[in-house]
Structure 1
Amino acid sequence: MPGLGTLINVAAIVAGAAVGMALGGRLPDRTRQVVTDALGLVVLLTAALSAASVLDPALTAATGSAAPTLIVLGSLLIGGIAGSLLRVEARLEQLGEFLRRLLTRAPAPAPQPVASSGAPDAAGAEPSGAEPSGAEPVPPAAGSGAQQRFVEGFVSSSLVFVVGPLAILGAISDGLGNGIDQLALKAALDGFAAVAFAAALGVGVMASAGPVLVYQGAFTVLGVVLGSFLPEAHVAALTATGGLLLVGVGLRLLRIRSVPVADMLPALFVAPVLTAVAAAL
């Protein structure tokens, strides 16, 4: 059944995130930071392996020996400009904030207490320095730390789960009816990664199952409708471009630099187009 592999992948992310959240509360902050750093290093390793696809023989044969690097560079530049103009990063963070409110159901801040004594000024406010008698202290509003943690978990894990080549190749193979072997492997990898992500970054990781469902589901539909969607050379260019995007994710996880990786996601769609142009020249 087309789409079964993606459903298994989504279930693995949700289950892994649930286990990670159960463990995360019992881990000290230092341990969670170590987990995040370890994930960052593993993401950099995965990024290096993916970026090595720029040397793929099929890509070199189709475009020439010098073109692959220029294709990746052009994809990142064009995709980054398009993504920044479309404000992909900001929109993804807004989606993360909406899901955070929906999932956490944070209580609204308590209303300001009404003073039981004291003469207000002409504007109806308490005199400066007056302490309203009988009023309960107003609890501080929910800090931005939890919000930032949710958004970071949602954004970082979503990018890791959807950028990899298996997300595209596996979904297309599933749509073509060639089996779910690739997505089953990705589900196992994502499930273990979700445990570590959620232990460090919380419930935002579970919410990342939504983008995975939409993203891989779209490529599954393309596989069903269009048949063989991408030639091998195009997939290699896309994989190499995705590898460099993963470098940005790794830098974010290691707290080295907050690279706006989401703004560069259109590069994944530009890479096959530039590959086709280079092959035609």
Structure 2
Amino acid sequence: MFGLGTLVNAAGVVAGGFLGLLIGSRLPHGLQDSLMKATGLAVLFLGLAGALEQMLQVSQGQLVSRGSMLVIISLTVGTLIGEALNIEQAFEDFGKWLKRVTKNERDTTFVDAFVTASLTICIGAMAVVGSIQDGLRGDYSILLAKAVLDAIIVLILTVSKGKGALFAAVPILLFQGSLTLLAHFLAPIMTAAALDNLSMIGSILIFCVGINLIWGKLLKVANMLPALILAVMLTFLPFFG
């Protein structure tokens, strides 16, 4: 079935969210806060490991780094574009709309939970590669694996931040569904090098989400999202390819 991977992924997010609601209502506030910090720490290391995996290579018996200029240009220019477009505010406005239409006006953490969960599970190479494979060959194995990971992440985020996290299923449907529909167009662009760069920048953004989970909202991660597109575009320039 075309697009089945995205549907299963979204269902996993919802299932994780509902389970988180059942568990979270039985936990004291202090424990919920500890879980949020622990989740933030895990997200930090997931992002750090993903970024270093792409940046560090062994050459002639020595550990060397790559992609420093790509990281600097992608993040700085991407953030400038994101700030100009005010993507973070658009995310929050969408979250407020969901909050209103789902009759959750009294939930003060809804928007924060929605934005945090959406950014955590939508950024990354698994979403892109899995969606393209689903669209081209009907192979949704990557998205099935991602569904399990996302369910666990959203479960914990729902426990620690509230029910808004489970509505991250909506961006999953919109983002991955669009990639699946556009798979034939995107496949030639998403070369191995482009995916490596996308994974590197995506992992850095996931690291930034972890910072916000632990220390509060210090970074506007949504405004950095254009860096992902720039990372792919720069791949095709001689200096970065």
Structure 1 contact 171–217 (Cα < 8 Å) conserved: yes
Partners of 2:185 and 2:232 lie apart in 1 by 18
Normalized per residue, the structure richer in helix is 2
1:87-117 CA distance string (max 9 Å, x none): 00011111111111221354xxxxxxxxxxx
Q: CA RMSD in A?
A: 2.0
Q: Quick one: distance in 1 between partners of 2:215 and 2:172?
A: 24
| 1:3 and 2:34 are equivalent in the alignment | no
TM-score (norm 2): 0.91
1:200 aligns with 2:199: no
- For residues 262 and 215 of structure 1, do their structure 2 counterparts lie closer, same or farther at Cα, with a shift above 3 Å needed? same
Q: Are the equivalent residues in 1 in contact too, given 2:133–2:140 (CA < 8 A)?
A: yes
Matched to 1:169, the amino acid is V
Could you say which structure has the larger radius of gyration?
1
Contact 1:67–1:278 (CA<8 Å) still a contact in 2?
no
1:181 maps to which of 131, 136, 141: 141
Q: Is residue 214 of structure 2 the alignment partner of residue 254 of structure 1?
A: yes
Aligned to 2:24: 24
67 and 44 in structure 1: CA distance in 2 versus 1, 3 angstrom threshold: closer
Residue number in structure 2 paired with 1:79: 78
Secondary structure class of the residue paired with 2:219: coil
Moved more, 270-279 or 10-19: 270-279
Q: Is the 8 A contact 1:176 1:228 kept in 2?
A: no
Q: CA deviation at 1:278?
A: 3.3
Q: Over residues 25-64 of structure 1, what are the superposed CA-to-partner deviations in whole Å (9 max), with x where a residue is unaligned? A: 111111111111111011011101221243377xx9xxxx
CA contact (8 A) 1:167 1:183 kept: yes
Q: List alignment gaps of at least 5 residues for structure 1.
A: 107-141
SS of structure 2 residue aligned to 1:98? helix
What is the CA-CA distance between 1:2 and the residue it aligns to? Answer: 2.5
Where does structure 2 lack aligned partners over 5 or more consecutive residues?
Answer: none
The TM-score normalised by the length of structure 1 is: 0.79
Q: Which residue is 1:12 aligned to?
A: 12
Q: Does 1:267 align with 2:193?
A: no
Paired residues for 1:85-104 under 5 Å: 85-104=84-103
Contact 2:79 2:227 in 1 (8 A): yes
Contact 2:234 2:240 (8 Å CA) reproduced: no
Secondary structure of 1:277's aligned partner: coil
Amino-acid identity (%): 33
Asked if 1 retains the 8 angstrom alpha-carbon contact of 2:2 and 2:138, the reply is: no
Provide Cα deviations, 1:253-280, integer angstroms capped at 9, x if missing partner.
0025521000000111010111111358
State the one-letter code of the partner of 1:165.
A
Matched position secondary structure for 1:276: coil
Q: How many residues align?
A: 236
Hey, what's the Cα distance between the residues in 2 that align with 1:151 and 1:158? 10
| Counterpart Cα distance in 2 of 1:247 and 1:83 | 18
Distance 1:30 1:2, change over 3 A: same
Deviations 1:216-261 (A, max 9, x none): 1111122134544411111111111011111110011002552100
